[in-house]
Each structure stands twice: as C-alpha cells, then as structure tokens.
Structure 1
Amino acid sequence: MSELVEGYGGLLAEIKQRVRSAQYEALKAVNKELIALYWDIGKLIVTRLEVERWGKAVVRNLAQDLQNEFPGMSGFSAANLWRMRLFYETYVNHEKLAPMVREIGWTHNLVILEKCKDDLEREFYLRMTRKFGWTKNVLIHQIENQSYEKTLLNQTNFSETIPEEIQEQAKLAVKDEYTFNFLELGEEHSERQLEQAILSRIDPFLREMGGMFAFVGSQYRLEVGDQEFFIDILLFHRRLKCLVAVDLKIGKFIPEYVGKMQFYLAILDDLVRMEGENPSIGIILCKSKDKTIVEYALKDATKPIGVATYRMFSSLPQELKDQLPAPEQVAKLLEGLE
C-alpha cells in the first residue's frame, strides 16, 4: 500500500526522525534527573556523616534498605553510595563543572571521577564527552591514551596564522601524538603502507584524529602549471570549516617538510577552498620529532601548520607531563571546546 500513496515514504521518514529525536530528548531528561538524584543522595550522606557524625555502617545499612525498597532499581549498592558521596564532594564547590556533570551519563562520570587527577583534566573529558557523544569505552580509551596531555602539548603556529576567533578551537584540533593501535603494521613500514592501512580503517582513524573530521580523499591531486602534486590525505574539519592536509612521514621530522606543506596549503586556498571556508590547515604526521627543531621550523611559517607524531601504542613520556601549560592557559584553551 505504501508504494501506492505518493509521499508516504517521506512522511514515514519524517515521523521516524521525530520519534528518535523525542527518544533522545527523553533519555537526556532521564539522565539529568538520575544525576540530580545521585547528587542529592551524595549530599545527604556527606551531611549525615560529617554533621551528625554517623559511622560508615550507616551507609551499608542504607544501601540494603534502599535495595529492599526499590528491588527493580539498580545503583544503590554501598560502593555506589560512596561514589555518590565522592561525586558530590568533588564538584560541589566547582561552579563551572557542576552543571557539566548533568549532561553526560553516570558511568561516564564515574570514569572521569576515578581516572582523572585534577579539575582541568576532568573539565577536558567532560567537555569532550558531551561534545562528541563518546561511549564509555571510547572515553576510557581516550583517557588511557592520554588525549588530554597530547592535546595540550601540541606544536602548531596557529597563534600567528589563524583568525583569533577560531584559534583555541584550532589548537584543540591537533594532538602532539596520535595512537594508531588499530593499524596492523610492523615497526618497519613504508609511507604507502601507512597510508593504505589508514584508508582501510578510516573510521577509527577519524575518531583518533578528534571526531570532527570528514574524509575528503587520499592522494588528492593538485595541478599547478604542467605538474601534478598529491596530498597524502585530505580532510575537512566540520567545526573549523576548513580543509586539513595530512602529510604522512615514516621517519623523523625535518624542517623541509614545512616548506612542502606551505606549498600545498597555498594551492588549496587558491584553487580548492570554497567561499565561506577558513584558511586550510596542514598536519605533518611523523614517526618522531625534536620539539626544538619543530619550534624553529614553524617560527617563520606563514601558513597554519601543526607537527605531530604517531605511534602504534600509547607512549607519551612521563616527563612531558611536567611541560603542560600553566593552569590559567589550560583553562583558556578549554573554552574552545564549547
């Protein structure tokens, strides 16, 4: 019958989308109520234990009585009640983070609460989870791969080459190191093998790149005069609204790579960039780099370029954690995650 009624397919598709949208909004509302409930329980436990000086046995008894009263409702174990207490204590005096915790799931909150060391790191993962809709497993993967540190330590010249209104967002779009543990490559491989491996696993590659990239093409052809040039991988960043050229290198970074990338970006901006898009960005992805050499190589570059490394496993040296920006700089940078 549906085939005989003109426009039925469109009507069905519209209603399906409306139902899904309503389901999503309902889930968000339920989640906010659940987080608010756990917040209030945590607050009550803190008050009774500290003000009334009740012992720990009270929480154990409370858990048992709540489970008996609400047998079909999970979450009232003694361990979870203690987590509610910690949850409340962690965020009660933090005006910026307290509203954010209501916008992600309880299990996500627990991961961030238990695995992150300070408020700035928690803010980073709260914002990223909310912005990209990370699942619990993706969130754990990002924390274990030290996305926070790798994002803050990135090397770019964006402060000098990108419009001020999108500088912070652009800095957050490039990591210092990418972990491609989804690639089945040996320690020794060619640039072509690296590219082919990435193309065969394009979805996890784009997720590792940050979640806001769309794939445009590989070996993207540029024609200048009577010569052809090819960009290894061309992406588009949806939030920054700009093309992103990725140059793959299997060895150590050398300064000459910057000149080549500037050449690619000049052509992209003149011949490929569409009206309304921001200037193109380049990412030089190497096996290793000397941070001082990168700093000098980017110093006088006029096109926006970032230099990063890639690994098949997470390997951020412990000593680099001491090189993170000052807290006030980190706080300013995180504003770009809105």
Structure 2
Amino acid sequence: MTNISSNNDYSMLIKEIGKIVSNNKQKAINLVNTILVETYFSIGKYIVEYEQKGEKRAEYGKELLKKLSKDLTKEFGKGFSVQNIERMRYFYTYFPDFEKSSSLMRKLSWTHIVRLLSVRDENERSFYIIETIENSWSVRELDRQINSSLYERLTLSKDKKGVLELSKKGQIIENYNDVLKDPYILEFLGLEERSSYSETELETAIINNLETFLLELGKGFTFVGRQKRFSAGVDHFYVDLVFYNRLLKCFVLIDLKIGKITHGDIGQMQMYVNYYDREIKQNFENKTIGILLCKEKNDIVVEYTLPEGENMIFAKEYNLYLPKKEDFKRQLENL
C-alpha cells in the first residue's frame, strides 16, 4: 500500500494549503487592525464633538473619560481604560480628516499609532508616519528612531525647505549628504560610556548587532564585509567595515576610532577611498564615501588634511547613549 505522506503530490498539497492558511491569517489580522483603527477614530470623534457642545462639558473632560471607561468596560470588556480612551481622543484631534489620511493610517497598527501620538510636533509626526510605512518599521524600530532623535539629527543639516520636505516626503536619498548623520547613536551595542573598550571590541559589537546598525545607518545600506583586505605591493591594509548603498550606487567605508581622530587617520581613509574608486567600483557606480566614526572629531583637522575639493570623506561622532531630544531642539533653534 502506498504511503500517502511520502507522496510528492501530497507534500505539494500540504505546502499549498499552508500558503493559503498563512496568507488568509495575515489578511484577517490586517482587516481586524483596520476595523480597530477606524473604530477608535470614530470613538475619538464622538468624544471631541460631545465635549465641544458646551463649556461645561469641556470643563469636566477628565471626569467624562473616567465615566466612559467605567461604562464601556462594563458593557464591552477590555480596551477602554481611561488612558486608551484619551488616546482615541488625541487620535481624532491629530488626524481630524480621516478620509485624507486613511490610506496611510490603515497601514499602521493601533500600537504604531499610540507611539506616534506621543510625538506632539506635527511635522515630526508626519515624518515618522511616512518612514514607518516606507521602511515597514516594527513598533520597536519606530520607538528606537524616535528615542534616538532621528528627525532632529536629519534636520540639523537641512534648510527650512529641506525640513518641510522631510515632513511631507520623509527621507529622500538623492546625494551623500542625505545618508549622513551626526552623531550616530549606538546605544544598542550595550557598551558603557565610561568603560574601556578597544576598536576591535567596538567592531565586534557592531557586527553582533548588525541589523540594528543597518537601521541606524539608514536607507539603502547593505553589508559587504568587515576587515576587508587589499594589498599595496608587499603591504596589506584592512578596512574595518564596508557597506554598499544601493540608492546612491556607491561603496561606503567605515573606519572605527575610539578616541579623537588624527591627520593620520584621515590620510589612511583617503587611501582606502582612492583604492576603492580606482580598483573596485564599476564605471556606472558613484564615488566611494569614507566615514571616520569616532568618539571625538575635529573638523578643522579634517579640512586641512584633505586636499581642496575632496568632499567624500567625513568625520562623524558616535554616542553610546540615547540623546536628550531637548539638546537637539536647542541646536535647531540656534541655527
């Protein structure tokens, strides 16, 4: 008697059924999420409209939320805490034109929206909505980008027009300046700010957390290798980290420095970049970018070490802790 389980056609049948089940499960999850988001939006709308019908109703807003929470929980069960009802109200307040924004909001889970509601600046919130959808960020990834002040770090290098474009279009990668950050935030490495660690340990920590490091680098980056060797006569040289940016179509070389960079470090990176431009890159690719990722930079040393016109080598600092958003906001105000 033929064993059904060993039959190739039967194995294919199981595989195809598995695909159908998995796909439809995901469709069901997406549908439930869409309905949940629309439901919470409508609840927020009714609460705001109810409050706006009279001054007295606006005055006892907090008491209203408590009473709603008690009565709705009694009738419908979980999901109607005072905090969550307040979020529904914020949701409608921040996005009153639901039809206009629904195509975006339906691509986000309620958990995403809750995290975004904590961002009070409208332009900043708009930026994170666009980036979350375009990059398929999980809630955890979104949370890290907000906590690491991604928006503020990007706006520091842009004029008013560029800042406005960030809020309307998200991060558009058109030239090397669009992929650079200062500082880079490496809190995910778990290295203590005051502890003693070597450049090798820093490099190993980055490799062990490569997925998060790629997120920090930004759009279009793929990992090529670590300690990439090339030879010049009898001498051998090693580039700490090599990446490729598919949007800019160029190699990105990173050398790690745990202290203050020197003119020797800059000259070495110049040699690395020259080698990649002359020996590795193809004719259709753009010039190589070199980044000296250091604990402390000196822009004047960089300027006078490099030849005039050399604009593809950069010194960028890294932090091992999450920055205070207030510090970046003060920098923006002083520009």
With the shorter chain as reference, the TM-score category is 0.7 to 0.9
Once the two structures are superposed, the pairs formed by residues 327-338 of structure 1 within 5 Å of their partners are none
Distance, in Å, in 2 between the alignment partners of 1:23 and 1:278 is 44
Q: How does the TM-score come out when normalised to structure 1? A: 0.74
Q: Determine the structure 2 residue equivalent to 1:137.
A: 140
Q: 1:39: which partner in 2?
A: 41
SS in 2 for 1:251: strand
| Partner Cα separation in structure 1 for residue 98 and residue 301 of structure 2 | 40
CA displacement at 1:94 relative to structure 2: 9.6
CA distance, structure 2, for counterparts of residue 265 and residue 7 of structure 1: 55
Residue identity matched to 2:251? L
Q: 1:119 aligns with which of 117, 122, 145?
A: 122
Cα pair distance change 1:275/1:75, threshold 3 Å:
farther
Is the 1:91–1:98 Cα contact (8 Å) retained in structure 2? no
Structure 1 contact 154–306 (Cα < 8 Å) conserved: no
Q: Distance in 2 between matches of 1:10 and 1:279?
A: 48
CA distance in 2, matches of 1:274, 1:14: 42
- Find the counterpart in structure 2 of residue 312 from structure 1: 320
**Looking at both structures, which has the greater relative contact order when contacts are Cα pairs under 8 Å and sequence separation is at least 6?**
1
Work out the number of aligned pairs and report it.
316
State percent identity of aligned pairs: 34
Residue equivalent to 2:253: 245
Give the conservation status (yes or no) of the 8 Å contact 2:258–2:294. Answer: yes
Change (3 A) 1:192 1:8: farther
Post-superposition offset of 1:286? 0.8
Choose which of 173, 176, 180 in structure 2 pairs with 1:174.
Answer: 180
1:231 to 239, 242, 261: 239
C-alpha contact 2:267 2:306 (8 A) present in aligned 1 = no
Does 1:61 pair with 2:67?
Answer: yes
The amino acid that maps onto 1:69 is: E
- Aligned to 1:308, the other structure's residue is in SS state strand
Residue aligning to 1:86:
90
Aligned mates of 1:299, 1:153 — CA distance in 2: 26
For residues 300 and 18 of structure 1, the distance between their equivalents in structure 2, rounded to whole angstroms, comes to 61
In structure 2, what is the equivalent of residue 48 of structure 1?
Answer: 50
Cα deviation for residue 217 of structure 1 reads: 0.9
Native 8 Å contact 2:173 2:247 kept in 1: no
**TM-score between the two structures when normalised by the length of structure 2:** 0.75
- Between stretches 246-255 and 56-65, larger displacement belongs to 56-65
2: distance between equivalents of 1:258 and 1:21?
A: 52
Matches within 5 A, 1:1-338: 4-6=6-8, 16=18, 19-51=21-53, 54=57, 55-56=60-61, 57-71=63-77, 74-92=78-96, 99-114=103-118, 116-153=119-156, 167-168=173-174, 170-181=176-187, 182-184=189-191, 187-210=195-218, 212-224=220-232, 227-254=235-262, 257-273=265-281, 277-290=285-298, 300-302=308-310, 304-315=312-323, 318-324=326-332
Report the Cα distance in structure 2 between the residues aligned to 1:300 and 1:9, rounded to whole angstroms.
Answer: 66
C-alpha change, 1:249 and 1:111, in structure 2 (3 Å) is same
* Distance in 1, Cα, partners of 2:250 & 2:21: 33
Native 8 Å contact 1:97 1:123 kept in 2: no
Q: 5+ unaligned residues in a row in structure 2: which ranges?
A: 163-171
Rounded to whole Å, the distance in 1 between the matches of 2:11 and 2:291 is 44
CA contact (8 A) 1:282 1:304 kept: yes
Q: 1:129 to 1:291 in 2, by over 3 A?
A: farther
